[in-house]
Amino acid sequence: MLTLNVFLSEIKERDDRDRNRAVAPLVPAADALVLDSTELNIEQVIEKALQYAREKLAVA
């Protein structure tokens, strides 16, 4: 039976492999903007994304 702890451990292992592989590692681009949505609800996430987009467009 797959427990939550085993499931989370397997996801972490997969993510570590993906980040550290020699060819095409999965990492954010150097100029990527990371939106941490951990403590945000969906409306806040959308508003933050729109804010970033507006700021980027204003600079361009």
Closest to 51 measured CA to CA, from 38, 35, 39:
35
Q: Per-residue pLDDT for 17 more than 90?
A: yes
Report pLDDT digits (tens) over 38-55. Answer: 999 999 999 999 999 999
Mean pLDDT of 19-25: 96
- The rounded distance, in Å, linking the Cα atoms of 17 and 15 is 5
Report pLDDT digits (tens) over 3-13. Answer: 999 999 999 99
